[in-house]
């Protein structure tokens, strides 16, 4: 018997990365085979070229596979009370068919994760977040008996569709009235092939631009893809990966776990995680709410003031200040912080960064010690940084309803 | 305006003690007891017409400080009652008798070793003694008084000397079996000396954790752990505590079951503002102090949703299943134990450490023991008021009975257990079954229903390493204050723990008074 006759079983079958419902189409377009992974899914870093994909987001339209995102449907009379005790924001004010950005903290007020809550009905919510959170959710439900959590991460397919021409493409696809959908609102459409394929569209995204997120049962994922790509053909629709997402979100000033914050439940070193105040998320913490997890610790943290504060920096020159230390003087004698994310922003035409800076040093000069290399030779420079209070990129079209024509 | 400065939930000895200390500081105190009788597990119970007994049937480490400070003697409590010998019953009548620092019924080597064994244990217990009546320091504390306590604890252990400190560290968490095997030959003696470290907990001789530490805890009283009965019985202690409470101005309401702690909020968060009774009545109070167990307090009375997520999950995880049941017999005459002239001692039926271990094995898998072990007292020998003239009461702690019996505590299961217990007693006290007028078995499930202690646990929650000292019942509630402002704990679920001791009530009152002074 030769080995070719042996029926070869994959010994690592259980360890292979899962494929998203959009994978058959995305694999065809992943010319570079640039796969990495997210939550156990095969997931593209980029498909063709990260800069090209970034420009698609900013100038036409592009899709980002968010199937690997964690999605939990929480239903029942206690659902709202449970979520409201878990997150720092007051979601009792959230209206039906609206979405809100939230974060949740440990008892000690350290940030576990951020995410979005969709109110789909009076007792029905969808919670989405970057990392698996079922264990914390289950802990959080202790004492709330009238609710059910179902993890729909694998069954609910989702595609983020971002860029200035997205509304036009969706209109062309037949989503009548999509232009009236306001930011952070939800609307439902039928794809038409049978009664079950209800498409949920939320005007949300992670790029700071005009954009939508499309949610559908995974059985209809390819049908959605094909209809969207047919409608978007003339608009140069293109999938984008993690690399372009990271550029777009940095321009929008959005934080990323593993970059700006370390998830508290995975943090080993004491206080190497963050409070929402350190991350400039004060507006997410609603002390008018009498009780939520971490409230008393956060009250103390607020009164004490954050040691570090996340800031947006505009840095002179064009060398990205990746992983730079920050100083209060050009001589780099007093260290005051560190850069968490940095890039040359093509759309803003600026050298931008997010950085953690000691709150006490925010009033003074900020200098970045930048290391870069040129044809294998390493160089360093010290560049002055300017504080930015507003997002680097925040076009009116992201908020206008109906969005303008592009 | 608040109606009261303090409401105390629960009229057990800790509730009464806490209430009295607070009232003596001039604060208004309302004590609410769910049942019609004060005393909790030490309450007098008429289990058959004219036959009375209390679930807690002897004293071993009731605080002398509390007794003196609250002048319990003025209210009829005499702490210098008679010390009870502990007798390890043997089927052949060759009993082992432990009488203070004397033992009999064992070989010469055991007799020799007992002296040095007891001296060592007394030294170790002595090192810990100052800390049972003190608030344990908060982990990560910056409060000077708490840091001093930490330092004091370290110094006390260090002052044992190098060898003894090492020995203390070795022995404190040793399974009691190892300690006994190291020292003694007699099976009955080993069982008898282990007994007080095990009873009330979910631990058997081979369980590592805190059975030896539990011995030290019980040795904190005036008789180094020897059991005794005050001259007026257990009832005299509860009556004296009640008298002291009334004298201090405590308002006592029985038959007043608290349904929930009323939670309000302001800018600083949630705070307790009073209680709601099961009758529907609301009573306002600036401060609510619960002597109920931590699970009942936080999960039933406060509600999980008013607490922090990790904190309340820790409370829910507390091990609170009781494993001790109670047998009460009304007898028409004095029981005659083989080889015992007068059953005035504390008698233990546990022929060996294995017998205890096997009894535990059954219970830990949800069955009651095939051959239960027990501790027997005939309290009517000393206190004739407990039974009609010439008649007697037998009171026995039974190990091990699971709180959640497989298949449930049905009538058949209880009857079967009762017959089994009578059968064992008959072996040691032939003819006793013919003397029985009436009897009852209280399972841990019965204790829970009657005394509202979760799991029917003697100590409200396991007195084990992970739930002791600054971890009792869990960090962030181990200094009597709780995550809910104005809500305090004062029951056996708090440091130092259970038994008729009084530490939690005393320490909680000191903490509350200290907090109010600062405010």
**Residue-level pLDDT at B221:** 84
What is the reported pTM? 0.95
Mean pLDDT, rounded, for B260-273:
96
Q: Nearest residue of B to residue A303 by CA position?
A: B268
Cβ of residue A194 closer than 8 Å to a chain B Cβ: no
Domains of chain B, earliest start first: 4-45+60-78+231-319+459-518 (3.50.50.60), 114-223 (no CATH)
Q: Nearest residue of A to residue B309 by CA position?
A: A140
Mean pLDDT, rounded, for B405-430:
97
Q: Which residues contact A293 (CB under 8 A, 6 or more apart)?
A: A85, A86, A88, A104, A105, A106, A107, A140, B308, B309
**Looking at the partner chain, which of B270, B309, B316 has a beta carbon nearest the beta carbon of A107?**
B309
Find out whether A127 and A140 touch, Cβ atoms under 8 Å. Answer: no
What are the tokens at B42? 């030490």
> Residue B313 pLDDT > 90, yes or no?
yes
DSSP output for B395-440: EEEEE---SS-TT---HHHHHHHHHHHHHHHHHHSTTGGGGEEEEE
3-class secondary-structure state, position A29: helix
Between the CA of residue B513 and those of B74, B340, B488, B496, B508, what are the distances in Å?
24, 50, 12, 19, 9
> Residue B405 pLDDT > 50, yes or no?
yes
DSSP output for B479-512: TSB-SSBTEEE-STTSTT--STT-HHHHHHHHHH
Cβ of residue A81 closer than 8 Å to a chain B Cβ: yes
Q: Which superfamily does A264-388 belong to?
A: Aminomethyltransferase beta-barrel domains (2.40.30.110)
Residue A291 and residue B268: Cβ atoms within 8 Å? no
Q: How many CB atoms lie within 10 A of CB B157?
A: 17
Mean pLDDT, rounded, for B275-280:
97
Q: What per-residue string of b and e applies to B233-247 under the rule 16 or more CB within 10 Å gives b? A: bbbbbbbbbbbbbbe
- For residue A1, name the pLDDT band (cuts at 50, 70, 90): very low
3-class secondary-structure state, position A377: strand
Interface test with B, best of A76, A88, A107 (most B CBs within 10 A): A107
ipTM: 0.93
Cβ of residue B270 closer than 8 Å to a chain A Cβ: yes
Q: How far is residue B162 CA from its own chain's centroid?
A: 33
Residue B313 and residue A82: Cβ atoms within 8 Å? no
Q: Which residues contact B464 (CB under 8 A, 6 or more apart)?
A: B201, B203, B209, B210, B319
Cβ of residue B311 closer than 8 Å to a chain A Cβ: yes
Q: What angle do CA A230, A235, A237 make, to 5 degrees?
A: 65
**Residue-level pLDDT at B2:** 61
**Which residue ranges of A are tagged as binding site for substrate?**
213
**Residue-level pLDDT at A100:** 98
Between the CA of residue B96 and those of A289, B188, B320, B426, B495, what are the distances in Å?
65, 7, 33, 19, 34
Residue B316 and residue A142: Cβ atoms within 8 Å? yes
- Domain residue ranges of chain A, discontinuous segments joined by +: 16-69+155-252, 70-151, 264-388
| pLDDT digits 0-9 by tens, A241-296 | 999 999 999 999 999 999 999 999 999 999 999 999 999 999 999 999 999 999 99
Given its phi and psi angles, is residue B174 left (phi above 0), alpha (psi -120 to 50 degrees) or beta? Answer: beta
**Looking at the partner chain, which of A81, A139, A299 has a beta carbon nearest the beta carbon of B309?**
A139
- Bridge partners of A238, per DSSP, are A62
Find out whether B503 and B218 touch, Cβ atoms under 8 Å. Answer: no
**Residue-level pLDDT at B142:** 87
Residues of B in contact with A107 (CB under 8 A): 308-311, 476
Between the CA of residue A57 and those of A14, A287, A354, A396, B326, what are the distances in Å?
35, 37, 21, 15, 75
Residue corresponding to tokens 């709330």: A144
Least confident range from A1-5, B276-280, B363-367, B430-434: namely A1-5
Is residue B214 classed exposed, middle or buried when 0-12, 13-18 and 19+ CB atoms within 10 A define those classes?
buried
Residues of A in contact with B308 (CB under 8 A): 107, 293-294
Find out whether B10 and B290 touch, Cβ atoms under 8 Å. Answer: yes
Integer Cα distance of B509 and B24 in angstroms: 10
3-class secondary-structure state, position B233: helix
**Residue-level pLDDT at A346:** 96
| pLDDT digits 0-9 by tens, A138-161 | 999 999 999 999 999 999 999 999
DSSP output for B272-303: EEEEEETTS-EEEEEEEEE-S-HHIIIIIII-
Cis peptide upstream of residue A402 (ω within 30 degrees of 0):
yes
Q: In Å, how far is B492's CA from the nearest CA of chain A?
A: 24
Find out whether B359 and B369 touch, Cβ atoms under 8 Å. Answer: yes
Q: Which CATH architecture has domain A16-69+155-252?
A: 2-Layer Sandwich (3.30)
| Helices and strands per DSSP (H, E), number in chain A | 8, 19
R_g over Cα of chain B: 22
Integer Cα distance of A311 and A387 in angstroms: 7
Q: In Å, how far is B292's CA from the nearest CA of chain A?
A: 19
Find out whether B339 and B95 touch, Cβ atoms under 8 Å. Answer: yes
Q: In Å, how far is B267's CA from the nearest CA of chain A?
A: 7
| pLDDT digits 0-9 by tens, B341-355 | 999 999 999 999 999
What are the tokens at B248? 């201090």
Residues of A in contact with B309 (CB under 8 A): 85-86, 106-107, 136, 139-140, 142, 293
- For residue B238, name the pLDDT band (cuts at 50, 70, 90): very high
Given its phi and psi angles, is residue A125 left (phi above 0), alpha (psi -120 to 50 degrees) or beta? Answer: beta
Residue B306 and residue A136: Cβ atoms within 8 Å? no
Across B36-78, where does the E strand assignment appear? 44-48, 51-54
Integer Cα distance of A148 and A121 in angstroms: 14
Find out whether B298 and B432 touch, Cβ atoms under 8 Å. Answer: no
Interface test with A, best of B268, B305, B317, B477 (most A CBs within 10 A): B305
What are the tokens at B188? 């009955």
Interface test with A, best of B308, B475, B481 (most A CBs within 10 A): B308
**Looking at the partner chain, which of A85, A136, A295 has a beta carbon nearest the beta carbon of B269?**
A295
Mean pLDDT, rounded, for A192-217:
91
**Residue-level pLDDT at B160:** 93
Q: Which of A234, A205, A212, A244 is nearest to A403 (CA)?
A: A212
Residues of A in contact with B267 (CB under 8 A): 287
Q: Which of B297, B306, B296, B299 is nearest to B271 (CA)?
A: B306
Q: How far is residue B78 CA from its own chain's centroid?
A: 20
**Looking at the partner chain, which of B269, B270, B303 has a beta carbon nearest the beta carbon of A143?**
B303
> Residue A4 pLDDT > 60, yes or no?
no
Mean pLDDT, rounded, for B95-99:
96
Find out whether B66 and B388 touch, Cβ atoms under 8 Å. Answer: no
* CATH no., domain A70-151: 3.30.70.1400
**Residue-level pLDDT at A193:** 67
**Residue-level pLDDT at A191:** 85
Cβ of residue A345 closer than 8 Å to a chain B Cβ: no
Residue A291 and residue B265: Cβ atoms within 8 Å? yes
Interface test with B, best of A291, A293, A299 (most B CBs within 10 A): A291
Residues of B in contact with A140 (CB under 8 A): 309
What are the tokens at B438? 């009436």
Is there a shared CATH topology between the A16-69+155-252 domain and the A264-388 domain? Answer: no
Question: What sections of A74-191 are H helices per DSSP?
Answer: 79-86, 134-141, 166-173
- For residue B35, name the pLDDT band (cuts at 50, 70, 90): very high
């Amino acid at each position: 018997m030769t080995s070719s006759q042996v029926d070869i079983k994959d010994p690592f079958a259980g360890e292979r990365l899962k494929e998203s419902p959009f994978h058959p189409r995305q694999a065809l377009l992943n010319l570079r085979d640039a796969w990495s992974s997210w939550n156990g899914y095969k997931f593209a870093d980029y498909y063709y070229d990260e800069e090209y994909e970034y420009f698609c987001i900013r100038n036409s339209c592009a899709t980002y596979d968010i199937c690997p995102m964690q999605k939990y449907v929480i239903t029942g009379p206690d659902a709202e009370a449970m979520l409201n005790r878990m997150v720092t924001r007051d979601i009792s004010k959230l209206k039906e068919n609206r979405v809100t950005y939230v974060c949740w903290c440990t008892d000690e007020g350290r940030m576990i994760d951020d995410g979005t809550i969709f109110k789909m009905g009076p007792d029905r919510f969808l919670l989405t977040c970057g990392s698996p959170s079922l264990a914390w959710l289950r802990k959080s439900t202790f004492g709330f008996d009238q609710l059910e959590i179902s993890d729909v991460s694998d069954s609910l397919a989702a595609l983020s569709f971002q860029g200035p021409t997205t509304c036009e493409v969706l209109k062309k696809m037949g989503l009548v009235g999509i232009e009236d959908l306001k930011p952070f609102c939800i609307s439902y459409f039928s794809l038409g092939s049978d009664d079950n394929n209800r498409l949920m569209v939320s005007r949300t995204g992670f790029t700071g631009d005009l954009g939508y997120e499309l949610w559908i049962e995974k059985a209809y994922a390819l049908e959605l893809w094909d209809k969207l790509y047919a409608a978007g053909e003339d608009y140069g629709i293109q999938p984008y990966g993690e690399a372009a997402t990271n550029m777009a979100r940095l321009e929008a000033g959005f934080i990323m776990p593993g970059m700006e914050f370390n998830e508290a439940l995975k943090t080993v070193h004491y206080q190497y995680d963050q409070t929402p105040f350190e991350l400039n998320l004060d507006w997410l913490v609603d002390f008018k709410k009498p009780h939520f997890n971490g409230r008393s610790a956060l009250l103390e943290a607020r009164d004490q003031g954050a040691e570090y504060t996340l800031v947006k920096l505009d840095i002179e020159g064009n060398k990205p200040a990746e992983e730079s230390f920050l100083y209060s003087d050009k001589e780099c004698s007093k260290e005051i912080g560190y850069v968490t994310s940095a890039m040359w922003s093509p759309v803003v035409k600026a050298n931008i960064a997010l950085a953690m800076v000691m709150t006490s040093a925010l009033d003074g000069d900020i200098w970045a010690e930048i290391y870069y290399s040129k044809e294998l030779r390493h160089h360093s420079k010290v560049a002055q940084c300017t504080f930015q209070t507003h997002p680097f990129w925040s076009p009116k079209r992201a908020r206008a309803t109906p969005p303008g024509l592009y | 305006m608040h109606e009261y400065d303090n409401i105390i939930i629960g009229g057990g000895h800790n509730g009464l003690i806490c209430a009295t200390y607070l009232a003596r500081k001039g604060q208004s105190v309302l004590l609410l007891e769910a049942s019609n009788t004060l005393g909790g597990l030490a309450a007098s119970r008429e289990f058959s017409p004219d036959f009375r007994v209390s679930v807690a049937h002897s004293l071993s480490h009731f605080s002398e400080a509390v007794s003196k400070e609250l002048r319990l003697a003025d209210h009829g409590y005499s702490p210098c009652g008679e010390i009870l010998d502990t007798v390890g019953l043997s089927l052949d009548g060759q009993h082992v008798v432990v009488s203070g620092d004397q033992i009999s019924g064992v070989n010469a080597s055991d007799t020799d070793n007992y002296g040095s064994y007891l001296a060592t244990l007394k030294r170790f217990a002595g090192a810990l003694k100052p800390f049972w009546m003190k608030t344990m320091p908060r982990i990560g504390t910056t409060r000077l008084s708490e840091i001093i306590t930490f330092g004091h604890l370290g110094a006390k252990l260090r002052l044992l000397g190098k060898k003894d400190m090492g020995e203390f560290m070795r022995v404190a968490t040793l399974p009691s079996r190892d300690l006994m095997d190291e020292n003694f030959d007699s099976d009955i003696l080993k069982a008898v000396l282990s007994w007080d470290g095990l009873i009330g907990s979910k631990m058997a001789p081979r369980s590592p954790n805190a059975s030896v530490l539990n011995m030290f805890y019980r040795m904190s009283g005036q008789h180094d752990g020897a059991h005794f009965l005050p001259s007026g019985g257990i009832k005299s202690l509860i009556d004296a505590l009640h008298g002291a409470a009334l004298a201090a101005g405590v308002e006592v309401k029985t038959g007043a079951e608290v349904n929930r702690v009323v939670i309000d909020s302001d800018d600083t968060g949630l705070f307790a503002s009073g209680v709601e009774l099961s009758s529907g009545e609301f009573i306002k109070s600036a401060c609510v102090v619960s002597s109920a167990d931590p699970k009942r307090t936080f999960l039933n009375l406060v509600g999980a949703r008013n607490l922090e997520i990790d904190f309340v999950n820790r409370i829910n995880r507390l091990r609170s299943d009781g494993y001790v049941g109670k047998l009460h017999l009304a007898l028409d005459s004095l029981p005659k134990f083989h080889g015992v002239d007068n059953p005035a001692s504390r008698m233990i039926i546990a022929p060996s450490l294995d017998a205890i271990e096997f009894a535990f094995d059954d219970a830990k898998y949800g069955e009651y023991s095939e051959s239960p072990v027990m501790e027997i007292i005939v309290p009517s020998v000393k206190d004739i008021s407990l039974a009609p003239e010439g008649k007697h009461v037998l009171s026995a702690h039974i190990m091990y009975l699971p709180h959640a019996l497989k298949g449930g505590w049905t009538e058949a299961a209880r009857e079967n257990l009762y017959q089994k217990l009578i059968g064992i007693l008959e072996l040691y006290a032939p003819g006793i079954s013919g003397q029985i007028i009436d009897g009852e078995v209280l399972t841990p499930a019965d204790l829970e229903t009657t005394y509202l202690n979760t799991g029917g646990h003697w100590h409200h929650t396991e007195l084990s390493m992970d739930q002791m000292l600054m971890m009792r019942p869990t960090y962030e509630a181990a200094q009597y204050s709780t995550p809910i402002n104005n809500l305090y704990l004062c029951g056996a679920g708090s440091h130092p723990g259970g038994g008729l001791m009084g530490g939690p009530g005393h320490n909680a009152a000191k903490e509350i008074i200290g907090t109010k002074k600062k405010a």
